[in-house]
Amino acid sequence: MTSSLNGFRAEPRRIAVLSVHTSPLEQPGTGDAGGMNVYISQTAQEMARRGVEVEVFTRATSSDQPPQAELSPGVTVRHVQAGPFEPLSRDELPAQLCAFTSGVLRAEAFHEPGYYDLIHSHYWLSGQVGWLARDRWGVPLVHTAHTLAKVKNSLLAEGDKPEPRTRVMGEEQVVGEADCLVANTQVEARQLVDLYGAAPDAVHAVPPGVDLDRFTPGSKPEARRALDLPSDAVVLAFAGRIQPLKAPDVLLHAAAELLRRHPELARRLVVLIVGGPSGTGLAQPQALREMAATLGISEQVRFLPPQPGPKLRTVFRAADVVAVPSYNESFGLVALEAQACGTPVVAAEVGGLPVAVPHGVSGLLVPSHRATDWADALAAVALRPDWRAELVANAVPHARRFSWRRTTDSLLDIYAQASTAFRQALERRAEVAV
Each residue's pLDDT tens digit, 121-152:
999 999 999 999 999 999 999 999 999 999 99
Q: Is the pLDDT of residue 265 over 60?
A: yes
3-state secondary structure the chain: CCCEECCEECCCCEEEEECCCCCCCCCCCCCCCCHHHHHHHHHHHHHHHCCCEEEEEEECCCCCCCCEEEEECCEEEEEECCCCCCCCCCCCHHHHHHHHHHHHHHHHHCCCCCCCCEEEEECHHHHHHHHHHHHHHCCCEEEECCCCHHHHHHCCCCCCCCCCHHHHHHHHHHHHHCCEEEECCHHHHHHHHHHHCCCHHHEEECCCCCCCCCCCCCCHHHHHHHCCCCCCCEEEEEECCECHHHCHHHHHHHHHHHHHHCHHHHHCEEEEEECCECHHHHHCCCHHHHHHHHHCCCCCEEEECCCCHHHHHHHHHHCCEEEECCCCCCCCHHHHHHHHCCCCEEEECCCCHHHHCCECCCEEEECCCCHHHHHHHHHHHHCCHHHHHHHHHHHHHHHCCCCHHHHHHHHHHHHHHHHHHHHHHHHHHHHHHC
121 and 233 co-located in one domain: no
234 and 152 co-located in one domain: no
Would you state the pLDDT for residue 143? Answer: 98
Is there a binding annotation on residue 28?
yes
Is there a binding annotation on residue 316?
yes
Would you state the pLDDT for residue 285? Answer: 61
Is there a binding annotation on residue 302?
no
Question: Please, are residues 44 and 32 in contact by the beta-carbon 8 Å criterion?
Answer: no
Question: pLDDT by residue (tens digit) across 224-245?
Answer: 999 999 999 999 999 998 989 8
Is there a binding annotation on residue 220?
no
Is there a binding annotation on residue 37?
yes
Sorting pLDDT into bands at 50, 70 and 90, what band is 281? very low
* Mean pLDDT for the stretch of residues 196-212: 96
313 and 381 co-located in one domain: yes
118 and 265 co-located in one domain: no
112 and 90 co-located in one domain: yes
Is there a binding annotation on residue 95?
no
Is there a binding annotation on residue 209?
no
356 and 420 co-located in one domain: no
321 and 225 co-located in one domain: yes
Q: What is the mean pLDDT of the chain?
A: 92
Would you state the pLDDT for residue 330? Answer: 85
379 and 262 co-located in one domain: yes
Sorting pLDDT into bands at 50, 70 and 90, what band is 282? low
337 and 369 co-located in one domain: yes
Would you state the pLDDT for residue 179? Answer: 97
Length of the chain (residues): 434
Overall pTM surpassing 0.85 (yes/no): yes
Question: pLDDT by residue (tens digit) across 289-308?
Answer: 999 999 999 999 999 999 98
Question: pLDDT by residue (tens digit) across 346-370?
Answer: 999 998 999 999 999 999 999 999 9
In this structure, are strands 53-59 and 14-18 parallel, antiparallel, or unpaired?
parallel
92 and 197 co-located in one domain: yes
Is there a binding annotation on residue 35?
yes
- Greatest CA separation found in the chain? 83
Is there a binding annotation on residue 36?
yes
Q: Is the pLDDT of residue 431 over 80?
A: no
Is there a binding annotation on residue 246?
yes
Would you state the pLDDT for residue 26? Answer: 87
Would you state the pLDDT for residue 428? Answer: 79
Sorting pLDDT into bands at 50, 70 and 90, what band is 434? low
* Mean pLDDT for the stretch of residues 51-55: 97
Would you state the pLDDT for residue 433? Answer: 63
Is there a binding annotation on residue 337?
yes
Q: Is the pLDDT of residue 323 over 80?
A: yes
Residue 258 in domain: yes
Is there a binding annotation on residue 317?
yes
Is there a binding annotation on residue 114?
no
Task: Provide the domain count of the chain.
Answer: 2
Domain span at residue 64?
A: 14-209+404-433
How far, in Å, are 40, 218, 404 from residue 47 at the CA level? 10, 29, 10
Query: Which CATH number covers residue 362?
Result: 3.40.50.2000
Question: pLDDT by residue (tens digit) across 7-51?
Answer: 445 779 999 999 998 899 887 766 676 789 999 999 999 999 999
* Mean pLDDT for the stretch of residues 208-220: 96
Interatomic CA distance for residues 404 and 1, integer angstroms: 17
